[in-house]
Amino acid sequence: GAVVSQHPSRVICKSGTSVKIECRSLDFQATTMFWYRQFPKQSLMLMATSNEGSKATYEQGVEKDKFLINHASLTLSTLTVTSAHPEDSSFYICSATPPGQAEAFFGQGTRLTVV
């Protein structure tokens, strides 16, 4: 199957700082990638759809100024959590679907802890 790689797997940052998470499709090009958030012991919630070469589409209730998404190439999307606060601590997971397929492949996730 296709491979989606996410980096870093864990990050701890101080409150008020910004953190960038990378999502790469290693063996296919992805015009669209997805970012999810998962609180402890809860389900995955779609945050936004990352579109190569254009603005991301955010789900209702997600602050686009706090969660900046950039999809500058066909294999890389980044999520930047700006001015992070402890309530932003969560597990962030990205996914991408190879062209012509319906199955989504997920990165391994990033555990963000804001202290």
Residues that bind another protein (CB under 8 A): 1, 6, 32, 34, 36, 41-46, 49, 91, 93, 95, 97, 101-109, 111
Least distance from another protein to the Cβ atom of residue 55, Å: 14
Tokens coding 17: 């700082």
Shorter beta-carbon distance to another protein: residue 10 or 83:
10
Least distance from another protein to the Cβ atom of residue 52, Å: 11
Residue 56 burial class via C-beta count within 10 angstroms: exposed 0-12, middle 13-18, buried 19 and up: buried
Tokens coding 89: 């601590």
Shorter beta-carbon distance to another protein: residue 67 or 105:
105
> Distance (Å, rounded) from C-alpha 60 to C-alpha 71?
20
Q: What is the CA radius of gyration of the chain?
A: 13
Shorter beta-carbon distance to another protein: residue 6 or 75:
6
